[in-house]
Structure 1
Amino acid sequence: MPVNPELFNTLTGVEIASQSFSDAVVGPPVVGWTVELVLYGVVLSTTLAYVYSPLFAKDSRYIRMLLAAVIILETVQSGFNFYSLWHFSTLQHRDALSLWHLTEFDTMSTLFLGWEGALVQGFLATRVASLLVTQWHRHLLGSWLYVAYTVRLHEGRLHQMIPIRVAEAMWLWGTAAVALSITGGMINYVLKRPAGLAPADRGLRKVFRVASEIALPTTLAATVGAVLQYSLRRTHGGYNSSSAFFQPLCSFYALSLLTSLSTRNLTDNIVTSVATLWYAQPEEQGLPADDQRKSGGGGGGSLYETKRSAKAPLEADEEQLPPMEVLMTVARLRDVYMAQQQEEHTVGFTTPQPRPRMRADRE
């Protein structure tokens, strides 16, 4: 049976794009899609590990709905990326116009990416806002969020007023600015509010490291993508290189959320370390013996008895507290401890000290 040679020559009559054009237009998105699909597997395994952990059972309905929405958006985005990767890998029309045009799923991928980013960074921003005591800090963080997501959600309309590359660069710069603001707020709070106790300080330093790790991938990817998107000209070989960095952003968002939710054990350990140091024997803390501390007599009781009286409410509340409230509780305990230490050096354990009002008393 004769074989028609044209059946094996699929490029007959079709203009072929140059290799440099194919590398510049198709290469970076393929890298971004591949990295995102690999990270999607990491997100799924991390999510399953978190769902089967004791922390998930303590989550509120709001947290569970947020996690479910992020995973659904991440799954949809990964499906779009898989289709695009399959399409451009098997496409036989290799002319410049076919390689340049996006698929119908590519046009919707940034929409789901924007929704996921708004959910995750909005959640992290609310947690950081609870730590900011000054109004201008909160207003600054809110303004960054408003500007960044206004640019992101209206990117398609901005193309009619400004060049597309400028609009995409503004979106990526806004994403990096929000991530830096969230991380900076958490780090600023940890550095300015040390517990004054060695175990708690070590725990807060761990929180410092975790806070840096939560937004570091998102910040780096968005910043590099913004620089490439704004600086490279159309004639440059790396013209489309920014897509290799913003395509995996959806997986970075999901991992940031999972990292934030999974670090509550760390903050619980901070409270435990503070409580352990507070309620240890006075000799272990380098303080006067218990009989010397009770020399003042009176109805106020000793400082050691005062600390022990606060032990039960702290243990009862620490498991119900969210992570940010745990940090704020540690800071309040530190303030009470330092105030009592200053009064001890001034009075010399001779005057009965009033019992400090703890959180359980106010409630």
Structure 2
Amino acid sequence: MAKIKKAGLDYFPVDTGYMQDRLMRRIMKREGDRAAVVILAAIAEAYGNGYYVRVDELFYDDLSACFYQTSAEDVARILGLAVEYGFFDARLFREASVLTSVEIQRQYLFSTRRRKSVAIDPAYNLLTEEETSEQTGSQDDETDGRKAAAADDVDNKGVSTGHNVTFRGKNATSRPHSIAQHSIAQNSTAYPLPQSSPGGGTEDADRKSAEEEGGVGGCESRPGDGMADAGGGATASGSGSVAAAPAATGTASRRPSTARTSTRREWTDADVAALTPPADGMKRNYDGLLLNLRQFRIPPQEQYAIILKSNFGVIGHPLWRGFFTLRDSHGKIKQPGHYLLSLCR
């Protein structure tokens, strides 16, 4: 079954100064506050029909049924004043009993610019030839653009996936900041936990956690720390990488590995429970922090990061306001751990 084409609009814009317009205030002084709503209802009827509405006794009667203590004569009188004050075109109202205006027709063409064929009846057209031709030209341009886009899609179907991957890689390395973004992405995978706390007082805990993470891999070091090799050979440089040990005599030379040798530590509830707040005299609610983290079922890995970032639940941290927001959302926040970490930055 063919789809019926809709001629009118589903909605239309209204100026913010509609009630403050000088002409509207004059009509309201004579006919009361209902005049603004009656005129707005007539404009809505015009947009619902397209860009005009034909008025008669039946139209006035139907429109008056929408208002309290307003007769068909009142609606006819109010719309007559609106025509007199220029809200609608006086010639078309007098000759064809039609309510329309230049603004209505211009807005209608703008709102329907994406439709395939939109035209205004020459008998009711109040726009200039330039405005009408400009609208027709924009419709043709959009149609040509859609055809060109469809043709590009057909041409691009022959491009292999490998070519697309190579193309993205080329773009990624050509931008100056792409290297920094790639480094940040790698570090975020290798170091998911925070290295410092904005609240202060947790430097020892951060250092301890970094040392524990370095001990898991066996050869990871922090930038700038020099770390002696077991054989007394190479040391870590300021770039955070570890130089490979010299190959033994008589053995084939091996290509140095560029992959990171450290493994990500998986924190457990026992590890989180073993953390102890520093004795720096700051007011904390560490027990309440742990209770809230477990209530929202936040993973231990994120619990550890939140504990350090919030300085072990220091009083006044934005984290506490975040717990209130989580409860008020009633489950709409799907990742509460990520949300709490965003408050700790």
TM-score bracket, shorter-length normalisation: under 0.3
Q: TM-score, normalised by structure 1?
A: 0.20
Q: TM-score, normalised by structure 2?
A: 0.20
Pick the structure with greater CA Rg.
2
